[in-house]
Each structure stands twice: as structure tokens, then as C-alpha cells.
């Protein structure tokens, strides 16, 4: 609809993208097309279909229907310069397919040390079993990544900011080094989404989202996506087909439904999260707040340079105290759920111990850490809740 029109702003694109008239027949939301078998008129038609590129053509259920194509196209339109998007039944499935589309036995992967833990486990487990070696790098390395590149280095996997410790990476500098050496770049862009960091425009080859988080936005669907830059889609699609990857049309429909309000949700959740982060900075029980929009966060200058704003996930370190004192804070919260994942409309608080998942940058925090996902509740209610929580923490810590 408007994907090629560069003057259209992302908030407009997020509403219009992917809604082709032939898929909607006038209905606002593309309906759910469920299919395994597609029927042909003749043997000749059936044989002709098999030889064609099946992207955007009904062929067999595993290749998708207009319900999945609509969402995939919408995500492609949100990334100016992108070639195409493939959808997956989870964010981890998306990460695995993206890496497998690029890496072969004997290759080396450079993986940021702040990466999501299952990404690390994939690299050091399954990929290692298939003869791929992984070297971890410091998230603040920037152009210094050039020193780590060896003859077998094939890909660099970034996550910026890291989803536990929030270091912002110098993506453009890493991309420049990689491209000069013929190395493929991948980015886990779940935190910023293309609305706040258009990764393909910044030169990233494959940008990945756990759509489970902000695209779905309602904590009820698992989903992942990989959007490919110029020349990168065919290998991604062929690998994903070979792996049998497929997102159910019902889930794709929920993803499209969530996407339409994503810009609005990100703005509201981002504003509330920053207000809470600033409030936490002023509390004596808090040693450090890790939020990319605060000057104390590693890579804050890069955040200001490269991002259009912040979203609703950040962390803080308490000043001293132990596991029990941290639990006293979290357990008594009235408006924060205790649970994994993030990006939904509801607030969450979890204990995190990121230094236990590091290889080359093990930094001991000043005290136990807490990660907050800020939802759409009233920000004053959330601050009052945290205020009481910090009182409980202080009493538990000081006896």
C-alpha cells in the first residue's frame, strides 16, 4: 500500500501495511485463511504450481495463505529497503532459522556477550554440534570488532540493547566492519522494533524480532520474524522451508491485530518506563538504573544518535541486600506480575542475574537486580507500588 513511499511516517505505515485488497475483499482486517490442501483444476495445473515461486501464491498450507503473507509484508514495509520477511512459531525459531541460513560447518560466529540466553544456548549447543564455533564479544566493542575477525568468521549476531543489561551497541560501526570483510550481520531487534530502530536501513542483513513481545502485545501468542535485506531473502526462505517452518494463520491474524496498535503502545509504555526509570534513579535503595535513555547506561550516546525512542523494558540494581530482600520487593507488588516474557499490556517484574550468563564481560552488580516490563497501567499507580516495594526491600536488607 504505502511501503515504497518514503514520505509516509512509520505510524501511518503500521496501520496500512500488508492490507492488499485481494486479501481483504473490503474487510478491514485480512481474515483467517486456514489451509493444508489447495485444490487444482487439473494435473497440468498441479504440476505448474510446483515449479513456480510460491511466495504470495497458494500452493500447500505450509507455504502460507494471505493471512501470513499480509503480516509478513507488513513487517517488510516497516523496514525501508528490506526484501522480505519470514514468520516463525517463536522468536527462538526465528533466531535459529536466521543463523542456519547463513552458517555452515567450519564457520565462526561472533555473538554479543549480552545476548538473550536461549540465543547463547543455541550457539554453544546445537550450532556447536554442527561444527560451528562461537566467540563472544563485549557489547561496547564497536569498530574494535575488527580485531576479533578471523579467516573463518562468517557472521556477527548483535542484540541492541541487550534485554537484561541494556548496553547499546554501535550497530553502524559493526556493520561497516562486517561488510568490508564480507561478513553477514544479524540483529535481535525485539526491544526497539523497526519503529524505533529501522535495522535494514542501517545496513543490517537479517533483523529478527520475537513478535511474542511488542508485535503481538497481549501476552497470548508466540511468534518470531526475520526480515531480510537486499539479496538475503532467498537463502532465508529456502532454509526456513527446509526446516518446515510455518506460523499458524490464527496466530498470524492475532499478530496483525496487535501490530496496528504497536506505535501507540510503544509510545505510552516507553514514556511510562522512562518516568519510572528516572524516579528509581532518585531512590537511595537503587544503585544503578539500566535504561538506554539515561546517561548512566553503557552506549547511551549511541542510543541518542541511532534510536527514535525507548520502549518499556529496563532493569535496575539494588544497593546491597540479598535474594530474600529482593524477593520482599517483588513478591508484594500489587500491579506487577511475576513471569517471563514482556511486551504485553501488563507490567511485570522479575529477578535477573545477568552476570551468571556472561563469558567475556562478567560485571558484578552492586546488589541484586530486577527487570521491569512497564505496561499500560497508570504510571502513578506503578510508582506508588514500587515505592512500597523499595520500603519492603530496605526493611529486609537493614533488618
Ligand X SMILES: *Cc1c(COP(=O)(O)O)cnc(C)c1O
List contacts with ligand X (CB under 6 A).
90-92, 116, 159, 163, 188, 190, 210, 212-213, 222, 224, 341
Q: How far is the CB of 224 from ligand X (least distance, A)?
A: 5
Min CB(12)–ligand X separation in Å: 27
Active site includes 213? yes
CA–CA distance, 116 with 112 (Å, rounded to integer): 9
Query: Do residues 292 and 161 lie in contact, with contact meaning Cβ atoms separated by under 8 Å?
Result: yes
| Cα–Cα distances in angstroms (integers) from residue 230 to residues 118, 190, 205, 398, in the given order | 28, 21, 8, 57
Rounded to 5 degrees, what are φ and ψ at 315? -135, 165
Q: What is the rounded CA–CA span in Å between residue 227 and residue 245?
A: 15
| Residue 2 Cβ vs ligand X, minimum distance, rounded to whole Å | 28
Long-range contacts of 37-45 (CB under 8 A, 24+ apart): 37/61
What is the number of other CB atoms lying within 10 angstroms of the CB of residue 35? 17
Query: Which of the following is catalytic: 116, 120, 237, 326?
Result: 116
Distance between CA 325 and CA 286 in Å, rounded? 13
Give the shortest CB-99-to-ligand X separation in angstroms: 12
Measured from the CB of residue 205, what is the shortest distance to ligand X in angstroms? Answer: 17
Q: Which of 73, 138, 188, 205 is catalytic?
A: 188
| Residue partners of 338: CB distance under 8 A and separation at least 6 | 330, 331, 348, 349, 350
Min dist CB 371 to ligand X, Å, is 10
> 23 or 166, CB closer to ligand X?
166
- Closest contact distance (angstroms) between CB of 168 and ligand X is 14
Q: Closer to ligand X by CB, 113 or 285: give it.
A: 113
Contacts of 281 (CB under 8 A, 6+ apart): 289, 294, 296
Nearer to ligand X, 188 or 306 (CB): 188
- Indicate if 116 belongs to the active site: yes
Which is nearer to ligand X, 127 or 325 (by Cβ)?
127
- Report whether 186 contacts 205 (CB < 8 A): yes
Residues 6+ apart with CB under 8 A from 192: 160, 161, 307, 311
Residue number with CB closer to ligand X (55 or 218): 218
Alpha carbon distance 267, 138 (integer Å): 30
Measured from the CB atom, the residue of 224 and 258 that comes closer to ligand X is 224
Give the SS3 label for residue 33: coil
Task: For ligand X, give the closer residue by CB, 92 or 204.
Answer: 92
Q: What is the dihedral of CA 25, 29, 32, 38, to 10 degrees?
A: 30
Which sequence positions are flagged as catalytic? Answer: 62, 116, 188, 213
Amino acid at each position: 500500500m504505502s511501503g515504497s513511499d518514503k514520505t509516509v511516517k512509520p505510524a501511518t505505515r503500521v496501520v496500512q501495511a500488508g492490507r492488499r485488497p485481494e486479501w481483504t475483499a473490503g474487510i478491514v482486517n485480512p481474515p483467517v485463511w486456514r489451509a493444508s490442501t489447495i485444490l487444482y483444476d487439473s494435473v497440468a495445473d498441479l504440476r505448474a504450481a510446483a515449479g513456480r515461486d510460491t511466495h504470495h501464491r497458494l500452493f500447500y498450507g505450509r507455504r502460507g495463505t494471505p493471512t501470513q503473507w499480509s503480516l509478513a509484508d507488513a513487517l517488510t514495509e516497516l523496514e525501508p529497503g528490506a526484501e522480505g520477511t519470514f514468520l516463525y512459531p517463536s522468536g527462538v525459531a526465528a533466531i535459529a532459522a536466521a543463523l542456519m541460513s547463513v552458517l555452515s560447518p567450519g564457520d565462526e560466529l561472533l555473538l554479543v556477550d549480552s545476548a538473550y540466553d536461549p540465543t547463547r544456548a543455541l550457539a554453544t549447543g546445537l550450532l556447536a554440534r554442527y561444527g560451528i564455533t562461537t566467540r563472544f564479544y563485549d557489547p561496547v566493542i564497536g569498530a574494535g570488532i575488527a580485531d576479533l575477525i578471523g579467516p573463518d568468521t562468517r557472521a556477527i549476531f548483535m542484540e541492541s540493547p541487550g534485554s537484561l543489561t541494556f548496553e547499546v551497541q554501535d550497530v553502524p560501526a559493526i556493520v561497516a566492519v562486517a561488510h568490508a570483510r564480507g561478513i553477514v550481520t544479524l540483529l535481535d531487534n525485539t526491544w526497539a522494533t523497526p519503529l524505533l530502530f529501522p535495522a535494514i536501513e542501517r545496513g543490517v542483513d537479517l533483523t529478527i524480532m520475537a513478535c511474542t513481545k511488542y508485535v503481538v502485545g497481549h501476552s497470548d501468542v508466540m511468534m518470531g520474524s526475520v526480515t531480510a535485506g537486499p539479496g538475503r531473502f532467498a537463502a532465508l526462505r529456502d532454509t526456513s522451508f527446509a526446516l518446515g517452518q510455518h506460523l499458524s494463520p490464527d496466530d498470524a491474524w492475532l499478530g496483525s491485530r496487535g501490530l496496528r496498535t504497536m506505535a501507540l503502545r510503544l509510545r505510552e509504555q516507553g514514556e511510562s518506563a522512562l518516568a519510572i526509570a528516572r524516579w528509581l534513579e532518585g531512590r537511595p535503595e537503587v544503585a544503578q538504573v539500566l535504561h538506554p535513555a539515561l546517561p548512566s547506561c553503557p552506549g547511551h550516546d549511541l542510543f541518542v544518535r541511532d534510536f527514535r525512542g525507548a520502549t518499556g523494558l529496563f532493569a535496575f540494581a539494588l544497593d546491597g541486600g540479598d535474594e530474600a530482600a529482593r524477593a520482599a520487593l517483588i513478591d508484594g507488588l500489587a500491579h506487577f506480575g511475576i513471569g517471563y516474557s514482556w511486551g504485553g499490556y501488563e507490567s511485570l517484574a522479575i529477578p535477573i542475574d545477568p552476570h551468571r550468563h556472561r563469558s567475556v564481560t562478567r560485571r558484578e552488580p552492586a546488589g541484586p537486580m530486577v527487570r521491569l516490563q512497564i505496561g499500560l497501567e497508570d504510571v502513578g499507580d506503578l510508582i506508588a507500588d514500587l515505592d512500597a516495594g523499595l520500603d519492603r526491600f530496605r526493611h529486609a536488607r537493614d533488618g
